[in-house]
Amino acid sequence: QVQLVESGGGLVQPGGSLRLSCAASGIIFAIHRMGWYRQAPGKQRELVASITSTSTTIYADSVKGRFTISRDSAKNTVYLQMNSLKPEDTAVYYCNAHRRTDSWGQGTQVTVSS
């Protein structure tokens, strides 16, 4: 049974930083593409960043230069370091594991507000 457990969300002021973590179990972590998606109220879920098994990364244009995705195969964990946060980054952030099918975490709320 696949389990993806996110942590690290919260309330932060504009310009602040947060680090999200996603601990994976029930999958062969090393061969999965891992990703972070987000969904703001009234909007569709969108890709924020992804990282392949060989650590090739992709970022949404809106987060390039501010967010960094990384993975630690020894810990079966993927991270999203978020710097220079903006109010428009406010959303529920979801961890995704993809190989032939998609698995999702339960989501963690990130709120950027003064």
Instruction: Outline where DSSP puts E strands in 27-106.
Output: 33-39, 46-51, 57-59, 67-72, 77-82, 91-98, 102-104
Q: Average pLDDT of 45-73?
A: 97
Residue 31 clears pLDDT 90, i.e. is over it: no
Would strands 108-112 and 10-12 be described as parallel, antiparallel, or unpaired?
Answer: parallel
What mean pLDDT value characterizes the chain?
A: 96
Can you read off the two tokens belonging to residue 94?
Answer: 């979801």
Predicted confidence band of residue 47 (pLDDT cuts 50, 70, 90):
very high
Nearest-5° Cα angle at 85, 81 to 90: 100
